[in-house]
Amino acid sequence: MSGARPDPILVTGATGYIGGRLVPRLLAEGRSVRCLVRDPRRVAGRGWQDVDVIGGDVADAEALAVAMRSVDVAYYLVHSMAGSESFRDRDRELAAKFAAAASHAGVRRIVYLGGLGDPAAVRSRHLVSRHEVGEVLAARGVPVVELRAGLIVGSGSASFEMLRTLTERLPIMVMPRWVDSRCQPIGVRNVLEYLLEALDHPSAVGVYEIGGADVLTYRQMMQRYAQIRGLRRAMVTFPVPHPEWGGTFAGIVTPIPRRIAEPLVESLQTDMVVRDGRAAREFAVQPMRYEEAVELALHRMATDTIETTWASSLASLTDERAGTRELADHEGMVLERHQAVTRAPPSRVFEVICALGGDDGWPAGNWLWQARGLLDWLIGGVGMRRGRRHPRELLVGEPLDFWRVEALEPYRLVRLRAEMRLPGTAWLQFEVLPHHAGSRVQQTAFFEPRGALGHLYWYALLPFHRWIFPGLIRAICARAEARAIALPVVPADEPTPVLGPIGPTSRT
């Protein structure tokens, strides 16, 4: 019947690096898209109005059955990169459930993005796991197109971000011997082209090794990146007795957390080059050169048009338990995030946040806030003398002590930008979300350091942050709970704050 909706395309891993870029491209082609995500709120603000979002996990058989209903093609973009020692067993278990659900639902094809590397020579547990997942997916009879890619070059890619940051930050690099392993890096744009073409390819089935136009060592990749950026870099190789040491070092120097950097470094010890040219013969994709992919990534970063990052994946992030502390460094932005759960409703929490500072001061380490303001005033900054316009209300653009209100979203978000003298740019952001019978509060300090002095400033303050920021979020929750008892009903004439965008930059 004309006008009937086509069978949907299922995308798992839609909150991840590749999945988050694939969905809008499927929509642009007029496809009917369905996503299976653990937390639907993570896709709520992406503008995917026509996407059918199913809340659930790949491990949930009931959610899988609902997600697979009437599906034509299913993308499997799930991998436990930051998993525990049992990640291989879990990856096989999840793949088996997915394959069984696809077979039962009569899915025409599964498209899976795996990892490149000769199975006979692979020493990386995570690459072995990726190959195993492809085998498990194919075991239930549904045709599988398995695209195996090596290092993906793109803005926000974990592997590219690691190499990029090492090159940017270390004028003299003492590198382990894996720096001379060979790789066939592929631009993220080409990866997406392969994934899209695999949907309706008339005969594609089985394993396809995909790569870019160049075969390079990691040393050559970093040297060419340095040339593009106009950097002078010296590299010396050094035998590292334990490969995990390289991952630990990368976790310290680069934005990639250690639990993700270690498996990445482990995989870099294996040559990842295309050995079978089937993809080049059967697909229409024209692989770009490494330099072109790098320049596209740098342009995205320079223009703040990064679509997704390695941190987009829920599995890559710190868990969301109350009381957790997350320290991260990504795309030139360092941050410290704290979370807490309170019995108070979001409206009461938001009121307390809007009343911070001014004559009442800051409820945790107020003398340190005042001392920092005095220091800023002594060196010619604004200090804390500006106070605030109103003791309880905030408007976008008005000053608050040495901050300026950059964004407000009713009962959900407040973001302050620091106007004190700093070797960089700082923000303090509060987010409030409903949580069972109360709220979950997320407090994040962002800092964009300017040069080495900016990094030194941030890390010098971390010991003070350890005391101030946990105390601040606890005090906010305590005050909100007290206010909820005193004022259990939200007044009907409550003032509405002015709206603002979310996040200090598109990079966060």
The pLDDT of residue 499: 36
Q: What is the pLDDT of residues 283-293, one digit of tens each?
A: 999 999 999 99
Tokens of 295: 């320049």
Q: Do domains 9-315 and 319-486 have the same CATH topology?
A: no
Instruction: Give which of 79, 277, 311, 316 is closest to 184, Cα–Cα.
Output: 277
With a cut of 60, say whether residue 501 has pLDDT above it: no
CATH architecture under which domain 319-486 falls = 2-Layer Sandwich (3.30)
**What integer is the mean pLDDT of 33-54?**
84
For the segment(s) 9-315, the CATH number from 3.40.50.1000, 3.40.50.970, 3.30.465.10, 3.40.50.720 is 3.40.50.720
Q: What is the pLDDT of residues 367-419, one digit of tens each?
A: 888 888 888 888 888 887 777 888 888 888 888 998 899 888 888 899 999 99
**What integer is the mean pLDDT of 116-135?**
85
Q: Is 146 helix (H, G, I), strand (E, B) or coil?
A: strand
Instruction: Give which of 225, 221, 223, 260 is closest to 244, Cα–Cα.
Output: 260
The pLDDT of residue 36: 94
Most confident of 25-39, 80-94, 115-129: 25-39
* 445 Cβ neighbours under 8 A, 6+ residues apart: 335, 336, 337, 426, 427, 428, 429, 465, 469
Tokens 């976008």 locate to 396
Q: Which helix (H) or strand (E) holds 479?
A: helix 451-486
**What integer is the mean pLDDT of 462-472?**
87
Confidence of residue 253 (pLDDT cuts 50, 70, 90): low
475 burial (CB, 10 Å; 0-12 / 13-18 / 19+) is: middle
Residue percentage of the chain with pLDDT more than 90: 43
Most confident of 122-136, 168-182, 220-234: 220-234
Mean of pLDDT over the chain: 83
The residue ranges of every structural domain in the chain are 9-315, 319-486
